[in-house]
Copies of this chain bind each other. A is one copy, B any other.
Amino acid sequence: MAAAKLALSKSSLQVVGAVDPDPKKSGQDLGKLLGQEPNGIIVSSDAAKLYSELRPDVILHCTSSFLPRVKEQLIQALDAGVNIVSSTEELLMPYHSDPELARALDKKAKEVNATLLGTGVNPGYAMDFLAVVASAVCFEVNGVKCRRVVDAGTRRLPLQRKVGAGLTVEEFKAREAAGGFGHIGMEESVALVGRTLGLELERIEQSLEAVVASQEFQTPFLTVGRGQVAGIRNIGRGWKNGTSLVELDLTMAVGSENPGDTIEIVGEPPIKMHFEGGIPGDQATAAILVNSLQGVVEAGSGLKTVVDLPPARIAR
């Protein structure tokens, strides 16, 4: 929604169509769906038809976090020779979770001379791209530590739900066991950092735990009681020879103190980069998706990661 609104507001971009598999949205005016004036762009449920009729330069693809769920959508767009900027977290570094699919997507994209990029703020920027940027001024890099603390109370309701805010610890554990809970893309961030900085990681793992509220918090959407779950702490690690070389430490919880992003390069010289108050996730994600469109259109073909392209450039 935010990305579509932003794209519509940019004079350098022309939004020519919209696709949503939800039959309730199909046939509706995109402007109206976004709570704006009607703009004559009618949402379609038939992506292939839209691609062949409109021949877009690029699509902004925001459907699911998981590769298996978007695989067919990506192939469909590539079949039509369309460039893709996707928010699918697992597409940040598909060589990690599904190397075979990654190679197939790269091959296909090259055949049709299109570019495919997974990006976002996290994964895609805060705990991976910025680590690569910070290390550009180092003689040598021996490790990376990123710490991102998000006050989930300032975020959208879906994010507050995604981190379990307001659940009891028992409910949290039950949902955690069922999977699909928490932050998606942590291992991809570790893998991207490890590969780009040549750290030759042997093992990537992550841990997830509930952050329990020590006092009651109210957000515009819900209440977190004392002793209930305020959010998550998700730590990703990349190991070599028994040492954790990459450590990405993410807390997203209602009431988090000192929200901020810190990117630390353990190396020579050591580098420490800090974002005061943190990179605001909701806005920043929409922004980086839209700001990546032009670069993806201009890039050579293939499956790219965020570190393979010039930094996303603000769309006018």
Question: Which positions in A face B, CB cutoff 8 Å?
Answer: 6, 9, 121, 125, 129-130, 132-133, 135-141, 196-198, 267-269, 271-277, 279-280, 283-284, 286-288, 291, 300, 307-314, 316
Cβ of A137: which chain B residues have Cβ within 8 Å of it?
121, 125, 279-280, 283-284, 287-288, 291
| A273-B274, A274-B276 as given contacts; A314 in contact with B121, CB under 8 Å | no
Given contacts A136-B291, A273-B275, A300-B300, 15 further A-B contacts (CB under 8 A): A9-B139, A125-B136, A132-B311, A136-B287, A136-B313, A137-B288, A138-B314, A139-B283, A139-B286, A196-B313, A269-B280, A269-B283, A272-B276, A273-B273, A311-B311
In the complex, the answer to whether A279 meets B271 with C-beta atoms within 8 Å is yes
Cβ of A132: which chain B residues have Cβ within 8 Å of it?
311, 313
A125, A137, A269 — which one has the most chain B CB atoms within 10 A of its CB? A137
| A98, chain B: closest CB distance, angstroms | 23
Give Cα A141–Cα B291 distance, bound, in whole angstroms: 12
Q: Which residue of B lies closest to A313 (CB)?
A: B196
In the complex, the answer to whether A198 meets B314 with C-beta atoms within 8 Å is yes
Oligomeric state, in number of copies? Answer: 2
In the complex, the answer to whether A136 meets B198 with C-beta atoms within 8 Å is no
In the complex, the answer to whether A309 meets B310 with C-beta atoms within 8 Å is yes
Q: Top 7 closest A-B pairs, CB basis?
A: A137-B284, A136-B312, A198-B316, A272-B276, A269-B280, A133-B311, A274-B274
Cβ of A272: which chain B residues have Cβ within 8 Å of it?
275-277
Chain A facing B: main interface SS: mixed
Give Cα A139–Cα B286 distance, bound, in whole angstroms: 8
Cβ of A140: which chain B residues have Cβ within 8 Å of it?
314
Give Cα A274–Cα B262 distance, bound, in whole angstroms: 9
Cβ of A286: which chain B residues have Cβ within 8 Å of it?
139
Give Cα A133–Cα B295 distance, bound, in whole angstroms: 13
In the complex, the answer to whether B139 meets A6 with C-beta atoms within 8 Å is yes
Give Cα A313–Cα B263 distance, bound, in whole angstroms: 16
Give Cα A309–Cα B136 distance, bound, in whole angstroms: 13
| A86, chain B: closest CB distance, angstroms | 16
Cβ of A316: which chain B residues have Cβ within 8 Å of it?
198
A139, A198, A284 — which one has the most chain B CB atoms within 10 A of its CB? A139
Partner pick for A287 among B138, B275, B283, CB 8 A cutoff: B138
Give Cα A267–Cα B141 distance, bound, in whole angstroms: 33
Q: Which residue of B lies closest to A298 (CB)?
A: B308
| A130-B133, A198-B316 as given contacts; A268 in contact with B291, CB under 8 Å | no
Cβ of A133: which chain B residues have Cβ within 8 Å of it?
130, 133, 311
| A52, chain B: closest CB distance, angstroms | 30
Give Cα A279–Cα B133 distance, bound, in whole angstroms: 12
Cβ of A271: which chain B residues have Cβ within 8 Å of it?
275, 279
Give Cα A121–Cα B310 distance, bound, in whole angstroms: 17
